[in-house]
Structure 1
Amino acid sequence: MTTQVMEDATSSVIQDIDYGRTIERALVHRSAITEVFVTDVQTLRPMAVTAGIHLPLTHLYYSDHRSRPKLHDSLIFLEAGRQVSIAGSHIHVGIPIDTIAIVNTFQFSMKNLYALEVGRETGTPRIDTDFFGTPARNGRFRKGRLVQRIYMGDVHVGDHSMDVLFLKKHENEILRQAQRGTPAPMSSEFTEDVVSRTTERVAPELVGRDNPLNVVLTEPEVIGDSVVAQVVPRFDNPALFDHAYDHLPAMTLVEAARQVAVYSAGTAGRAPGEAPLPVYASGFDAEFYRFAELDVPLTVSADRVPAGPERHVIRVRFLQDSEEIAALTVTVDDASRIPQLQPRNHHA
């Protein structure tokens, strides 16, 4: 009986989610309204929320993909999950709004990819989130973990978990000073006209893009069994740099990992000049060890691990000053097979 009551209460909360507008941008630490994807956050139970998600049909960054059929970008769900975790922690857990959350690790995977096809009426998107953590005696959370389930209507399409460290502003400044030893420059100080004179980025189509603004890699080089490139994002890309940073944010590293994985999987076994295979990045497993500095060259390398003809697993490492600062494992799927994975009238 208790279980049925809880299920009924949860169903009622989900039905009450407001999709009419996005929430206040300060609650998700974004500057531009166009970069806010959370429409509503509702309490499910103590330390658990559900949230409505807005998936724009056209977006400078998230809609810019060459693979067909056209699917909702996996990273918009990752970004939406990040935003839900921030807003939920402020509104329903009590984390102060000026708290800085440092991501240590995250695991993210998409499933039932057929339900992500743009134009398919699967249902409204939402993310359910459980927060885990024990406050200190003063009530402050020093670290925490969250677990999320992502839905399109009733179809379970993804899972995300993340471990974070919570810092006050002055604590973050101490940490940055300890790592660098000198004040860090801001991303707003790097102008594209200076960068473009010394950098030639990869052709967009080789990393699954159309718009050069979204390319974050220099020309990749095949060295043995690895693909190696430099990470040089466009600092005027409003999706990756919604506001000024003193480091490369985690989502920029995730995009670099995706692009080197797409390049590695899409061009493997292809003749020079031959169009890369269409692939879809469906999973990320990430560890971050240090901040990615803006003023030090950042190298990314990818090693492909065979996982079958329709799925590849790419191991990605980021190096600065010969030190590994982050490592990701990226899973990519053959995009051409996704619509055939389930019938169009399937309900999960």
Structure 2
Amino acid sequence: MTTQTAEKSAVPEIRDIDYGRTVERSLAHRSAISEVFVTDVRTLRPMAVTAGIHLPLTHLYYSDHTQRPKLHDPLLFLEAGRQVSIVGSHVHVGIPIETVAIVNTFQFAMRNLHALEIGADFGPPRIDTDFFGAPARHSRRFRKGRLVQRIFMGDVHVGDHSMDVLFLKKHENEILRHAQRGTPAPLSSEFGEHAGLPATGRVDPELVGRDNPLNVVLAEPVVTDESVTALVVPRFDNPALFDHAYDHLPAMTLVEAARQAAVFSAGAAGRPAGRPPLPMYAAGYEAEFYRFAELDVPLTVTADRVAPGAARHTIRLRFRQGPEEIAALTVTVVDTSRMPDREESP
């Protein structure tokens, strides 16, 4: 087995980052303290910050995975990065806290997966962020922006994230939502657990790498030689996916559905008859969002099927509501049972 040296950070270590507590939850746009993962944000230079993050070891959602070795959830880093971008934009860039940020695209990839193993001691996690964009000449408002993040465990570079965002005032967002729907959008708090969609026919948790049925977001899968298509039916009482009331399915819920569909497709491809699926870890994501995912319209996700045998698969997924394709993602999954001790994943 080949052993490679882990990549080291080119950024000087910030020794005074506070890891003692998380930031005020409103700064991260969270309602529950347990869903805040940013501990401190400090300025590196104009339009650039570094942040400490907290990685909970026991969490209803982020700790619920069956693959071994047990690694930190990539979507925990993605959510932490999202929160760092929110806190940093408010405190260090000057974007008002009531601003609505709409994600258009993002790219996210984990590397050096050995440093993500729970219990390994590579040093405290942090995220370095560069913000790009300029306020409009007359209003001095930021209308859109881009951020680029590098994620570290101690000095080991473990991930990269970039995101393009549109900034709206609250009333502008309401006008946009009404224009797309033609009617006011309902809130997730107005529904029961499942928004009136089928609660039966949910995928078995082990087929999507989960133990807890609460975290399963797919139902009624249809498998062909070319694809896997399933209904997206998240539980609205899942506090990690629905920390507060939404008038749409948030982007992170669609990302979870894409992950589960990709794990289902790749795990099934290599599963002998009567055996559990392979331990797939979804390490990379690329996403484009075209429309809001409505709460009151059936949503499907379709994942390409993959051939068995490979240790890594890149899977294309498409989300549709009625005749509209509302989002497209690519997910890269890795068979962790064949993961080397050291690796430099792109």
TM bin (shorter chain): over 0.9
Which residue identity is paired with 2:296? Answer: D
Distance 2:232 2:313 in 1: 22
Amino acid in the other structure paired with 1:296 = V
The amino acid across from 1:28 in the alignment is A
Distance in 2 between residues matched to 1:269 and 1:37, nearest whole Å: 35
Residue aligning to 1:101: 101
Query: Is there any run of 5+ residues in structure 1 with no aligned partner, and where?
Result: 1-9
Q: Which residue of 2 aligns with 1:6?
A: none
Aligned CA RMSD, in angstroms, stands at 1.7
1:242-261 deviations in Å (ceiling 9; x for gaps): 00000000000000000000
Partner in structure 2 of residue 85 of structure 1: 85
SS at match of 1:192: coil
- How far apart are residue 272 of structure 1 and its match? 4.4
Residues 28-67 of structure 1 mapped to structure 2, 5 A cutoff? 28-67=28-67
Identity across the alignment (%): 77
Q: Is the 8 A contact 2:195 2:296 kept in 1?
A: no
**Contact 1:185 1:294 (C-alpha < 8 Å) held by counterparts:** yes
Q: Which whole-Å deviations, capped at 9, do the CAs of 1:313-348 have from their partners, x for residues lacking one?
A: 110000001210000000000111335235xxx9xx
CA offset at residue 149 of structure 1? 0.1
Post-superposition CA distance 1:129-167 (Å, at most 9, x none): 000001112221000000000000000000000000000
Equivalence map 1:256-271=2 (5 Å): 256-271=257-272
Length-normalised TM-score, structure 1 = 0.92
* Cα displacement (A) at 1:221: 1.4
Q: Secondary structure at the match of 2:338?
A: helix
What SS is found at the alignment partner of 1:149?
strand
Q: Which residue of 2 aligns with 1:302?
A: 303
One-letter amino acid of the structure 1 residue matched with residue 302 of structure 2: S
User: What secondary structure, in the 3-state scheme, does the structure 2 residue paired with 1:166 have?
Assistant: strand
Instruction: Give the match for residue 330 of structure 2.
Output: 329
Structure with more of its chain in helix, by fraction = 1
What's the CA shift for 1:195?
4.5
Opposite residue 246 of structure 1, the aligned amino acid is D
Q: Does the 8 A contact of 2:269 with 2:306 survive in 1?
A: no
Cα deviation, residue 76, structure 1: 0.2
Q: TM-score, normalising length from structure 2?
A: 0.93
Query: Following the alignment from structure 2 to structure 1, what is the Cα–Cα distance between the partners of residues 280 and 69?
Result: 11
Q: Secondary structure at the match of 1:340?
A: coil
Per-residue CA deviation, residues 196-225 of structure 1 (Å, 9 max, x unaligned), is 865321110000000000000003211231
Q: 1:307 to 1:107 in 2, by over 3 A?
A: farther
Change (3 A) 1:78 1:307: farther
Separation (CA, whole Å) in 1 of partners of 2:198 and 2:160? 41
The 3 A distance-change label for structure 1 pair 199 and 183 is: farther
Q: Which position in structure 2 is the counterpart of 1:181?
A: 182
Which residue of the partner structure matches residue 123 of structure 2? 123
Query: More relative contact order in 1 or in 2 (CA 8 Å, sep 6+)?
Result: 2
Amino acid at match of 1:283: G
Contact 1:306/1:313 (8 A) holds in 2: no
Matched, 1:318 2:319: yes
Is the contact between residue 270 and residue 308 of structure 2 (CA under 8 Å) also seen in structure 1? no
Q: State the distance in 2 between where 1:275 and 1:311 align.
A: 18
State the AA in 1 paired with 2:168: L
Q: Distance in 2 between matches of 1:307 and 1:148?
A: 33
Please list, as runs of the form range in 1=range in 2, the aligned pairs for 1:142-161 lying within 5 A after superposition: 142-161=143-162
Matches of residues 90-239 of structure 1 in structure 2 within 5 Å?
90-137=90-137, 138-192=139-193, 195=196, 198-239=199-240
Q: Is the counterpart of residue 18 in structure 1 residue 18 in structure 2?
A: yes
81-90 vs 187-196, greater mean Cα deviation: 187-196
* SS of match in other structure, 1:285: strand
1:3 aligned residue: none
Point out where structure 2 has 5 or more consecutive residues left out of the alignment.
Answer: 1-10
Which residue identity is paired with 1:168?
Answer: K
Conserved in 2, the CA contact under 8 Å of 1:307 and 1:313?
A: no
Question: 1:201, 1:217 within 8 Å by CA — same for their partners in 2?
Answer: yes
Instruction: Give me the whole-angstrom Cα distance separating, in 2, the residues matched to 1:311 and 1:159.
Output: 18
Q: CA deviation at 1:271?
A: 4.1
